[in-house]
Amino acid sequence: MATIHDDEHRSGVPGCRLAMIGPFNRWDICVTLVGICSCGSSDNAGPIDLSHDGLETQSLSSVILNQDSLLRTPVGIAVIGETIVVSDLNGPPFLHLLNATTGKRIAAVGVMGEGPSEFVGPPHFLPADPSSRSVLRVFDDRLQRIQSFSSDALAGGATTWRVSSVTTFPQSVPFLGVAGLPEGGVVASYLQPESGLILARFDSGGRATRSMGIVEFLDDRLPKHRLTGAYSHFLCPRDDGRKVAVVYRYAGRIDIYGDSTVDFTRAAVPFPFLPFLDKHPVTKLVAFKSGAANVRRAYSGGCWASHERLYALFRGRLHGKKGETTPTRASFIHVFDWAGQLQRILKLDHGAFAIALDANEQFVYSITLPDDPGPISVRRSKI
């Protein structure tokens, strides 16, 4: 297994071929409630301009599809055929099914438990074979298992679903991030203490089939094992599984990996910047916390991918100091090709937390932010 080194410093961003991953909001919860996730030296860089002024953007108008009180803390959205599925952090019910055209509620399902169509942790969506978009794959990080449901089961609106397949992964190798691949496989990130962070592929039976390498950090502001919160990110695979994008929540950075360790591209993001770290005046611990002054948010809204394009939701903002009004969260979608080139920028007319597109890439479905004016809603924007 080869060690991956990256000594490129493009756009002033120190290299980090892959970082700890967190599509499960573990670190969002940690940094918000606990406030201390790392310790080491601090680098309090000054504010940077995250404005899209001067960049060519396409403004999208949205319609509200659903805005009911059952959407308590939505964390993910998927579109499977004619059905929208929204996952809820504070379930049960853990999953809300809506009609993709009308927004009408079909069902609210998913109770606490370890049986079929049950969850222990909040469910997180994995795209199935994106060429069909006919299967919903849901990962439960507490159980380390994936349950698959067919679009027929979703459309029926039943309170329980027939599970078409279940894949369980070893509890001894907890995934820090996972994304679906065609034919039931996954690509996942996990920490191996003696080696470091591993990016690997697993088959539909839960068996590791190939390592994509051992990852080495080159951001020397913190020890490697303390970079987890600062470099939290999502994985977003191309529909054929031959490319995987690493989309960072708190760094202006997107890395694209291919089948081999030498197949690597750093996307030409419009705002390259490092995570913000802050040293506590008393404990001297370096904190990475979402409420700190000047904390930078980047692609913390996640991503969606097709064969030709990568859609990354940019929620770039700087937090204000305590007692001051914080800037409105921007909601832009940066669209890249798989060579890492920025193709276009879509501007949403609302603050968005998560996105998904239909199979034809004609509509963007999104969840509004909790602090967006009005209650939480599910929206559709035509591209």
Confidence category of residue 340, pLDDT binned at 50, 70, 90:
very high
| Cα distance between the two ends of the chain | 43
Which pair of structure tokens corresponds to residue 270? 């419009």
Cβ atoms of residues 126 and 113 within 8 Å: no
Lowest mean pLDDT among 112-126, 209-223, 262-276, 354-368: 209-223
Instruction: Specify which residues 156 forms β-bridges with.
Output: none
Among residues 312, 278, 309, the alpha carbon closest in space to that of 296 is found at 278
Of 274, 269, 271, nearest to 294 by C-alpha is 274
Q: Answer whether residue 369 shows pLDDT above 90.
A: no
Q: Is the pLDDT of residue 362 over 60?
A: yes
Between CA 278 and CA 286 the distance in angstroms is 5
Pairing state of beta strands 296-297 and 3-4?
Answer: unpaired
Please check the confidence at residue 121 and state whether its pLDDT lies above 50. yes
Cβ-contact 352, 368 below 8 angstroms: yes
- Indicate whether 38 pLDDT > 50: no
Among 164, 74, 78, 80, smallest CA distance to 117 is for: 164
Strands in 177-229 per DSSP E: 177-180, 186-192, 196-202, 208-215
Q: How confident is the model at residue 329 (pLDDT cuts 50, 70, 90)?
A: low
* Residue 276, C-beta contacts closer than 8 angstroms, at least 6 positions apart: 44, 45, 250, 288, 292, 294, 295, 296
**Residue 323 near residue 61, CB atoms below 8 Å:** no
CB 318 within 8 A of CB 47: yes
Three-class SS of 71-82? CCCEEEEEEECC
DSSP run (H or E) holding 287? strand 286-287
Single-letter amino acid code for the residue at 323: G
**Per-residue pLDDT tens for 201-260?**
898 888 888 877 666 556 777 766 666 667 788 899 998 888 999 898 888 889 898 877
62 φ/ψ angles, rounded to the nearest 5 degrees: -115, 160
pLDDT tens figures, 161-188: 678 888 888 887 888 788 888 878 898 8
Q: Say whether pLDDT at 324 is over 60.
A: no
Q: What share of the chain is helix, strand, coil (3-state, %, to 5)?
A: 5, 40, 55
Mean pLDDT, the chain, integer: 76
User: Taking Cα atoms as reference points, which of 347, 348, 353, 346 lies closest to residue 371?
Assistant: 353
Model confidence pTM above 0.95: no
| Cβ neighbours of 263 (radius 10 Å) | 12
Phi then psi for residue 152, to 5 deg, are -65, -40
Is a pLDDT exceeding 70 seen at residue 116?
yes
Cβ-contact 304, 236 below 8 angstroms: yes
pLDDT of residue 185: 87
Task: Return the half-sphere exposure (C-beta side, CA atoms, 13 A cut-off) of residue 107.
Answer: 14
**Helix or strand run (H / E) with residue 28:** helix 26-33
Give the residue-averaged pLDDT of 343-347: 95
Determine contact, residues 222/288, Cβ cutoff 8 Å: no
Reduced to 3 states (helix: H, G, I; strand: E, B; else coil), residue 208 is strand
Average pLDDT of the segment spanning 41-59 = 70
Predicted confidence band of residue 332 (pLDDT cuts 50, 70, 90)? very high
Give the other-Cβ count within 10 Å of 2's Cβ. Answer: 11
Most confident of 127-131, 202-206, 335-339, 351-355: 335-339
> CB–CB of 234/247 below 8 Å?
yes
**What CATH code is assigned to 3-48+57-382?**
2.120.10.30
- Interatomic CA distance for residues 288 and 295, integer angstroms: 8
Any idea where the domains of the chain sit in the sequence?
3-48+57-382
Distances (CA, A) of 357 to 162, 183, 197: 25, 21, 31
- Contact by Cβ (8 Å): 102, 174: no
Better-predicted residue by pLDDT, 354 or 373: 354
Identify the band that residue 342 occupies on the pLDDT scale cut at 50, 70 and 90: very high
Q: What are phi and psi of 12, to 5 degrees?
A: 75, 15
Name the percent of the chain lying above pLDDT 70.
68
In this predicted model, what pLDDT tens digit does every residue of 286-308 receive, in sequence order? 556 555 555 677 898 889 999 99
Residue 268: the pLDDT is 96
